[in-house]
Amino acid sequence: MSDAPLPRPSWRAVAAAALVVVLSAGAVQAQSLRLPNAGSTNAAAALTAAPVLREADHVTAVVNSEPITASEVRTRAASVERQLRTQGETVPPRDALLREVLELLIVERTQLQLAADTGIKVEEAALDIAERSVAEQNQMDLDTFRRRLAQEGIDRTRFREQLKRDITLQRLREREVEATLRVTDRDIDDYLQSQAAPSATGPEEVNLGHVLVALPDNAKPDDVASRLARAMRAAERISAGEDIAAVARELSDGPERQQGGSMGMRPLDRLPELFVEATRKLPVGGVAGPVRSGAGFHVLKVLERKTPKSGGDATITQTRARHILLRTGRQMNQQTAVEQMGAWRRQIASGQADFEALARQHSQDASAKSGGDLGWANPGMFVPEFEEAMNALPINGVSEPVVSRFGVHLIQVLERREAALGPRERRDAARPKVREQMMERAYADWARELRAKAYVELREPPK
């Protein structure tokens, strides 16, 4: 375990690259890096095929001599608006949204310029992996996904440019911010003490199953009626005991349909108020809806409820995984390593090869002698890209090739378990949480400082 994915705390914060593409209701959306905006994490950079009204274009801002046009702002605003509506969030007034999106683009532009000045580059192999990952999230093979992009009017070159920007920003933030963080024992002591306080048991959390039947803009009454009927069918099937995952994959237009409709465990203050009110009095297993928002009709099922507790009964989910690592450099470039890993993955899937045997023979790290077995790992032990791929796998599932700073990995999950936390384990589990909190503050400060150093000229539209 000394050098494979190099166990260390990961961070999941506003700077994390969480590229999710949603193919539904005649639109393609790519939600990419989230940028800070007065404490909100709702403004997501997005690539979309949504139509934007054609207006006279002009330069609305200049960032270190690089222009930002009004059409860029309008296109990004349309994407953000659609994302908010899909999530059931309140959309700000048009003028406020445009101002917020312009600031988002200015902050993004300053970071991209710094990345270019300091030589950060994204290899074609990394873009290929990201594109495959997006296709998988939409439950398509790569060729089908590319055809779907073309059908939706999205140019593949433009799509890959967005992927490249996202990865570039992620790498910049890891280098400029994450690498400077140090979590001390005092930081962990303070965190544990705050969690032990009676008032710090945390807010109620809930995991909602979500089926969205989207409504197009300016929907006609007949279309509204048909979409409502579809949502009512979903509610009836779920209430009758049918698995919401199956219903979501069949009927939902929402971004959670790839996760079987599950929104994941979230504090109530991180859910749309509409969802909170609709499910507030429901027990686990209760179903609400259809309820209507600007995005369409929502059907909600309470999958889990939990009030976080401190103390000796705390548990974590541990994962036992194994991997194959190919290091990249002079002897093997990234593209070659990715292609080799892809070939091995296909051999494993067809039964022509055994993961453990391949790891013993080919993996270029200390775990090779144990067939790639990394042992039981707590959350936050591996680098983010490795851990995110691992967490998305079912038991015995094998990942697509995963690129990290250490090379290219192939990952297989062997087991998962819930483990009670003793004093030492509690401190280990607290470390990535403390680091995440520090990361959010450090990133916000860094982004604000970089923005302040930039020359930014705002321009009024021509009259």
What averages of pLDDT result for each successive group of 10 residues across the chain (463 residues)?
A: 35 28 30 30 35 66 92 88 73 88 93 93 85 76 85 84 89 87 88 66 76 82 89 91 86 76 80 86 87 86 74 72 90 87 91 93 92 89 85 87 88 88 79 84 90 90 78
Q: Report, in angstroms and rounded to the nearest whole number, the Rg of the chain calculated over CA atoms.
A: 23
Q: What is the 8-class DSSP label of residue 381?
A: S
Q: What pLDDT is stored for residue 54 in this prediction?
A: 52
Q: Are 206 and 302 in contact (CB under 8 A)?
A: yes
pTM score, whole prediction: 0.56
Q: Per-residue b/e over 212-231, b at no fewer than 16 CB within 10 Å?
A: bbbbeeeeeeeeeeebbebb
DSSP 40: B
What's the pLDDT score for residue 36? 30
In order of start, what are the domains of the chain with their CATH numbers? 1-200+425-457 (1.10.4030.10), 202-306 (3.10.50.40), 315-420 (3.10.50.40)
